[in-house]
Amino acid sequence: MFKKILVPVDGSRPAHNSCMKALELAKIHDSDVEIIHVISFSDEYVPNTADSGAEETLSPPDWINEYLDKVREHNEKMLAETLKAAREVAPGLNITTNLLHGQPGRQIVTRAKKGGFDLIVIGNRGLSGIKELVLGSVSHRVVDDSSIPVLVIK
């Protein structure tokens, strides 16, 4: 029934629980599993030169590039640790990882559609904090926007 399962993670306990549930389902259905993480940055930190009449694009200061490199390294490590744990729980399954950039809800739904996934398994709360209260949670966005089934794990 579910041949391809997409599992977004962010390092939180609900994301871990959703990954374990996805692996449980994958064992039953002999599914492929892709574990993803979406790196997101607020648009307010990206300089907008379009309205200022500037002809050149502003280059970010070196410290921003260093910070972004550290964020990427941290997230790659989190995905690698999640993959290792997943392979211990479900040896023999085809489990891959993918690190994406952009708005998490949108990227998850787009990846599910483009990748031909049958199911998204996602935690109900992540690491979004105050932003979640104002903008809504990633899981709510995925449920609202997805054209495939979404299993939300508490």
Q: What is the DSSP string of 129-150?
A: THHHHHH--HHHHHHHH-SS-E
Query: What CATH number has the domain bearing residue 50?
Result: 3.40.50.620
**For the chain, what is the mean pLDDT?**
86
Helix (H, G, I), strand (E, B) or coil at 45: helix
> What are 67-86's pLDDT values in tens digits?
888 999 999 999 999 999 99
Structurally, the chain folds into a number of domains equal to 1
CA dist., res. 138 & res. 106, Å (int): 9
Q: What does pTM read for this prediction?
A: 0.83
- Cα angle 125, 42, 76 (rounded to 5 degrees) comes to 65
The side-by-side arrangement of strands in the sheet containing 32-39 is 95-101, 32-39, 4-8, 119-123, 150-153
Residue ranges making up the domain that contains 91:
4-153
> What are 102-141's pLDDT values in tens digits?
999 999 999 999 999 999 999 987 555 555 554 458 999 9
- Binning pLDDT at 50, 70 and 90, where does residue 36 land? very high
